[in-house]
A and B are shown apart, each in its own frame.
Chain A
Amino acid sequence: MNFKKLFLITYLIIFFPSVSSQLRIEIKGGVEESISIAVVPMQWNLEIPQEIFIHEVIKSDLESFGEFNVLPPRNMLSLPTTKEEVFYKDWRLLGSDYLVIGNIEFTEIDQEIRVSYTIFDVVKERVIHRGSVLGPLSTLRKMGHKISDKIYARIQGIPGIFSTKIAYIDKPSKSDPNYNLMISDIDGNDSLSLFSSPQPLMSPSWSPDMQSISYVSFEEGTSRIFIQKLSNAERRGLKLEKGINSSPNWAPDGKKISAVLSKSGNPDIFIYDLELSTWLQVTNHFGIDTEPDWSPNSRNILFTSNRSGSPQLYEVNTRTKRIKRLTFEGTYNARGRYLPNGKGIIFVHRQNGVFHIATQNLRTGKIRILTDTRLDESPTVSPNGNVVLYATKDGDKDILAGITLDGKTKFVMPSLKGEAREPSWSPLID
């Protein structure tokens, strides 16, 4: 027996003692590599020309945040559309860990199509998911996003976000003198103006049921909070108070909105009851209190206050009204948002006069700066907690950019026309 090997084994045994006599070996790290997946062009069984290719929608979705590496069809050895045509060995040879195949056909209902797909684990040589998506032909892209969500959830173990939406504000340009409240897919496709006004629009925020958006409009010559239903554009103005009426943010139950009013002489945090149409004051301080965000468990509201002399983030308990300061590093920490798990926050942090997006662990208090551009603001987190989207500048142009919370993948939100600011990520819906 080789001495070196014996040494290694002894080392392992000493290093990993076990309560029982059984040996425990720890595997730390591993390769955090992009997962290789092959998405085969799906069989098109419709007697009309194909314009949107669903495997391309899925490819672009899965590659958005660097977690997946999608094999292009030109590198495939075969293009299977049924389980029988799948030879695991071929795909293993190409280095694919997973494989997706499918087909597209009309259903009995006019203009309705069905996309049936199967996800294979190539390494384990088995089917891990079989699914179908039904919908009108016009929603092919949406169907692709749905399949991407399933693939993502099945492989990553957390929900996919490719069917979610982004709301943002588009500022006036030469082609359009108005401010626009926009929504779009997270890849910037299918953008649509929900509301258009010659006066500023600000601070869009999604209702938890994704049916409505609240925002601030200056159309009446002063700031006022409105709620607009997506389905019919029905608008409702919240009870107008003297001074600032701004920074709306929905409670997790969808029945209340936290916001900022300065009717008492300075900006404070208030809660609006949507059933009673009444305002309830939450904070009361002569400084600036603003930018409320409801905690996922709805117990606390995060807000910015300059009560210590510079803007810092605080948390107020909505029941006891007790206030706790959260940030201590630096002289500008503002516009905070809770992470979906409630264990951390993201916010705007100034360092050497430059504004970055930072995150803070609420248990340890440790902060981590995520971005390295200079006028970064309005961070919003994906509902699965993995990605941050924020507003920044490209030269003088307002753009939206993103970064995964681990800081490893950065991207600029593609295909957005105009100048976008104040992104707000929708919740997850089925």
Chain B
Amino acid sequence: MIQRQVRENWKRPKNINQSLKTEIQINLVPTGEILSASVIKSSGNKAFDESAMSAILKVKSFEGLTMQMQLFDQHFRKFTLVFTPE
């Protein structure tokens, strides 16, 4: 669900190295809204990193993230998104 929302908003640059990988840490509030996002492991390609960041920015808030508070705190308050082209 999170995957789908991010992937749908992710426009990555064409003609780029297929082995790039960017890790972005996300802080959420229980409503699904994104508090902050930061690159914790850069791919080395700024354009690629930024395209991933843009995808998160476009999502703004994850829909359908209703769950028990305990489960949310455990897994979704802070988590990492790993972006790879293939």
Which A residues fall within an 8 A CB radius of B? 1-2, 5-6, 8-9, 12-13, 18, 21-35, 65-67, 97, 121, 123-124, 154-158, 386, 404-406, 408
In the complex, the answer to whether A157 meets B81 with C-beta atoms within 8 Å is no
Q: Are A5 and B16 in contact (CB under 8 A)?
A: no
Closest residue of A by beta carbon distance from B51: A30
- Are B80 and A22 in touch, CB under 8 angstroms? yes
Q: List 15 A-B contacts (CB under 8 A).
A: A23-B75, A24-B81, A26-B3, A26-B83, A27-B10, A27-B55, A29-B7, A66-B14, A67-B15, A123-B54, A123-B57, A157-B16, A157-B45, A158-B45, A386-B15
In the complex, what residue of chain A is closest to B8 when comparing beta carbons?
Answer: A31
Collect the chain A residues with CB atoms within 8 Å of residue B57's CB.
Answer: 123-124
B32-86 contacts to A, CB under 8 A, are 45-48, 50-55, 57-58, 64, 66-68, 71, 74-76, 78-86
Which residues from chain B contact A158 at a C-beta distance below 8 Å?
A: 16, 45, 47
The 3 closest A-B pairs by CB, nearest first: A157-B47, A30-B10, A23-B79
Which of B3, B48, B55, B76 has its CB near the most chain A CB atoms (within 10 A)?
B3
Say yes or no: A27-B66 contact (C-beta < 8 A), given A124-B57, A157-B45.
Answer: no
Residue numbers of B with Cβ under 8 A of A are: 1-3, 6-8, 10-16, 23, 45-48, 50-55, 57-58, 64, 66-68, 71, 74-76, 78-86
Contact for B15 among A22, A33, A65, CB less than 8 A: A65
- The answer to whether B75 touches A31, judged by C-beta atoms less than 8 angstroms apart, is no
B17 → A minimal CB distance (Å): 9
A406–B15 CA distance with the chains assembled, in angstroms = 6
Contact A30 B83 (CB under 8 A): yes
Q: Which residues of A contact B75 (CB under 8 A)?
A: 9, 13, 23
B1 touches A156 (CB 8 A): no
What's the minimum C-beta distance from B29 to chain A, rounded to whole angstroms? 16
Closest approach, in angstroms, between the C-beta of A89 and any C-beta of chain B? 14
**A9 touching B81, Cβ below 8 Å:** no
Of the listed residues B6, B15, B80, B85, the one surrounded by the most CB atoms of chain A closer than 10 A to its CB is: B15
How far does the alpha carbon of A156 sit from the alpha carbon of B12 in the complex, in Å? 9
**Are A30 and B55 CB-contacts (below 8 A) given A9-B1, A156-B15, A406-B14?**
yes
Closest A residue to B13 using CB positions: A156
Q: Is the CB of B14 within 8 A of A67?
A: yes
The reply to whether B67 and A31 contact each other, CB–CB distance below 8 Å, is no
Residues of A within 8 A of B84 (CB): 26-28
Which residue in chain A gives the minimum CB-CB distance to B52? A27
The docked-state distance in angstroms from the alpha carbon of A13 to that of B55 is 22
In the assembly, what is the distance between CA of A338 and CA of B59, in Å? Answer: 41
Check B14–A408 contact: CB distance below 8 A.
Answer: yes
In angstroms, Cα B18 to Cα A406, docked, is: 10
Nearest chain A CB to B84 CB, angstrom units: 5
User: A428: shortest Cβ distance to chain B, in Å?
Assistant: 16
CB distance from B86 to the nearest CB of A (A): 7
By a CB distance below 8 angstroms, the chain B residues around A29 are: 7, 10, 85-86
Is there an interface contact between B14 and A5, defined as CB atoms closer than 8 Å? no
Residues of A within 8 A of B8 (CB): 31
Q: Which residues of A contact B52 (CB under 8 A)?
A: 27
Residues of A within 8 A of B12 (CB): 30-32
| Beta-carbon contact of A5 and B10 below 8 Å | no
How many Å lie between the Cα of A154 and that of B45 in the bound state? 10
List residues of chain B with CB within 8 A of the CB of A6.
67
A10 and chain B: residue at smallest CB distance: B71
Q: Is there an interface contact between B82 and A31, defined as CB atoms closer than 8 Å?
A: no
> Does A405 contact B15, Cβ atoms closer than 8 Å?
yes
Nearest B residue to A30, CB-CB = B10
Across the interface, which residues of A come within 8 angstroms of B50, CB to CB?
121, 124
Q: Contacts A26-B82, A28-B86, A30-B83 given: A5-B1 contact, CB under 8 Å?
A: yes
**Chain A nearest CB, measured from B70 CB (Å):** 12
Contacts of A121 in B (CB 8 A): 50, 54
Contact B7 A5 (CB under 8 A): no
